[in-house]
Every structure is written in structure tokens, then in C-alpha cells.
Amino acid sequence: MVISSEFIRDSELFVPDSRRAWARLAVAVLIGSLGSVGMWSVVVALPVVQQDFGATRGTASLAFTMMMLGFGLGQVITGKISDRYGIVTAIGLGISILGLGYIVAGMSWSIWPYILVHFAIGLSSAATFGPLMAEASHWFERYRGLAVAIAASGNYIGGAVWPSLVNWGMQTYGWRTTHIALGIFTAVAMTLALIGLRVLMGAGVRRSHANALPPRLDLKLSTNALTVILGLASISCCVAMSMPQVHIVAYCNDLGYGVARGAEMLSLMLGLGIISRIGSGFLADKIGGIPTLLIGSVAQGSALLFYLFFDGLTSLYLISAMFGLFQGGIVPSYAIIVRETMPASEAATRVGFVILASVFGMSFGGWISGVIFDATGSYAAAFTNGVAWNLVNIAIMVLLLMRARQRMAMA
């Protein structure tokens, strides 16, 4: 039988861990970095937009709330689109909404259109996070954990780059012009990157999960039951994770160190979080997603405990660095677990649900920590609450690990 060269080329498109797969991953990171603008611009623009519209701080902050709501729900919506029609369609739709959303934001005639359009901005940014992690998992077998972690790092890379650029734009040209420029630039740049991804995927390929390898681990749990369990685990770990990330600036200010010091600690967390994500990917390829997540959760809980006992300036810098190194790999580990235990055809939707749970956990954790501070006049109880939620996550991961080892022993 003669095999055509065209068939050979098509069959090589999704060879796991191939050079083409790494090239796709590089483009995916670029898309994720560009698409994450929606998560960071709203924070930088907050005081300027508030002053321009004469709004209260609480009202102006609703733009961030709407963005997070859109980002969370968008994980499931764009994940479902990706599973059914492919990642190119999901991201393409997101690009259109993102570009239009920023143009509308820049032309807003009052604070409320500006607030509401951030739901659409968050929704569009979602396509470049959870679904992109799930997509990257289909391109790799030996280095799947590392690939998922690298794909997730686009969000943190954007966090390191976009705030300074947005601030420069607003200082130089004003916030309205900056938002309109963001819409045009991201639409053009992401479209070009998406075309590159489309070429690397092959002209006739729509859904790469059709060529993906099956799950490695059978926990003898239904996909719905396991999704709910992972969702509960995600909520608990992110309630704990949110305490330092949301309140470290306020905490430093209360201690008399000033807002600038707290902002530096937050940047330190995010920067070292990139290293954590890459490191967790390497580890997951060696020992699996569940053990990796468990190690990260134990380490995160340990860092939270240090916050309870040390509040010197140098100590807080060191603990914040530790926290960044420990927590950055936790969320990508959920995507790795989903891919290891569930059908590839459902991966983006299932990852989207777990990321939605993590967004809820971060939102709830940030709020409840503030409530606890108001009730006690101290962050000590809030840190203790974070440790308690972290223990819930550890317990769930221990149970899943025990079940996984039991299933492997029986195999």
C-alpha cells in the first residue's frame, strides 16, 4: 500500500511533544499574554476612571467585579465552544468581543456602561486561559504538565507587562484613548497570532482533541462527580490563596510600612509565581497532577502560617516570595488532573468549570477576609481562616491520591 506524503504530513500535525507542538505552545503563550489584558487594565484605570466620572470608589470597583464575573463564567462558555468547535473558534470569538469591549469602554458616556462592558471584556479574556491550558494538554504526552504550566504562565506574563504599559498610556494620552488603542492593538495582534496558530495546527484540523491520547488514570468516578470534587478543592485552595494576594497591600499599610511596600510584595508574588508554574509542570510530568497539587497546597498552607508569626518588613518580603513560589503551580495542576482523568473531548469544559470555581474562591476569599478584619480589627483571624480552607483542600487531595494509588494497585 502506498501512503501519500500529504497523509504523512497530516498525521504528523499532532505527534505528541513534537517541534510543531512546541511551536504551537509558544504562540499560545503569546495569545494568553495578550488576552490577559482584561484582568489587569481595570485595576490600573480604577482611580483615574473614578475621578473622571465623579463616582465613588465602591461604584468604580464594580468594573473589576464584572470583569471577574465574566472571566469566571467565560471559562465554561468558551471551554464548551472550544470542545465543540475548536480553540481557534473560541479565541476568534473572544478577540472580537475584547476589541469591541475596549472601544466601548473608551467611549463610555457614564460610569455604568464602563462597568457593564467589563463583563464582556472578562468573558473574552477567559478564552485565553482555561481553554488554552486544556488545548495545550492535547499536544503533549511526555511533557504535558510542563506544557500546561507554560500555557498558564501567559496570564502572569501579562500581569508583569500590561499594568506599566496601561499606566504609561493613560499618563501620556488619557484613559479613553488608551482603552480604544488597547482594543485595536489586541484585536490586530491576537488575530495575527491566531492565524499563526491556525497554520501550525493544519488547514484541515478543527479540534485537536480528536487526535489526543486517552486519559492515563481511571479513578472510577463519573466525570461529573470528579468535576464537582475538583471544583470544591479549587474553591478551598483559592479562598486561602486570596488572603495575601488581595490584602497584602492593606496589611502592609496597617503595619505602617506603606502601600508601596505592599505593592512590591504583590509584584514579587506574581513574578515568582511564573517560576512556580513552570516548576510544577516539570514535577507533574514526573509524579502526576494530584501529588503535585497536594505538594503545592501543603507548601501554600505553610507560607500562610508564617504570616501569622512574622510581621517584620524583611520577613514579609521573604514570606511573600515563598508564597509566590508555592502557590503559582496550584491552578494549572487542576488542568493537568482533568486531562489525566477525563476524556479529551470534554477537557476544556471541565477545566473551565474548575477555573470558574477558583474565581469564586478568590472572590469569596478576598471578601470574607475583609469581613473578618472588620469584625476583629486584625488580619490574624483572616490568615487563620485561610489556613483552615487550605486544610480542606489538602484533605480532598489526600483522598484523591489514596484512591488513585488504590486503583493503580488493583490494575
Please measure the distance between the N-terminal and C-terminal CA atoms of the chain and give it in whole angstroms.
Answer: 38
Closest CA to 287 of 298, 300, 296: 296
Return the C-alpha cell found at 340. Answer: 489525566
CATH number of 16-211: 1.20.1250.20
Mean pLDDT of the chain: 87
Alpha carbon distance 357, 238 (integer Å): 9
| pLDDT 10s digits, 4-16 | 443 334 445 668 8
Q: How far apart are CA 283 and CA 301, in angstroms?
A: 19
The domain ranges of the chain are 16-211, 223-410
Q: What pLDDT, on a 0 to 100 scale, did the predictor assign at position 212?
A: 64
What is the amino acid identity at position 247?
Answer: H
pLDDT higher at 124 or 253: 124
Supply 299's cell numbers. Answer: 507548601
Can 16-211 and 223-410 be said to share one CATH topology? yes
Residue by residue, DSSP assigns 82-133 as HHHH-HHHHHHHHHHHHHHHHHHHHT-SSHHHHHHHHHHHHHHHHTTSHHHH
Give the tens place of pLDDT for each residue, 245-294: 878 878 888 899 887 788 788 878 878 888 888 999 999 999 999 999 99
Structurally, at CATH architecture level, domain 223-410 sits in Up-down Bundle (1.20)
Q: Average of pLDDT values for 382-408?
A: 92
pLDDT at site 64: 81
Locate all alpha helices (DSSP H) within 288-346, ordered by sequence.
289-309, 313-327, 330-341
Q: What does the DSSP 8-state code read for residue 211?
A: G
Q: Residue 10: what pLDDT? A: 44
- pLDDT band for position 205 (50/70/90)? low
- Ramachandran area for residue 128 (φ above 0: left; ψ -120 to 50: alpha; else beta): alpha
Helices (H), 202-329: 223-254, 259-287, 289-309, 313-327
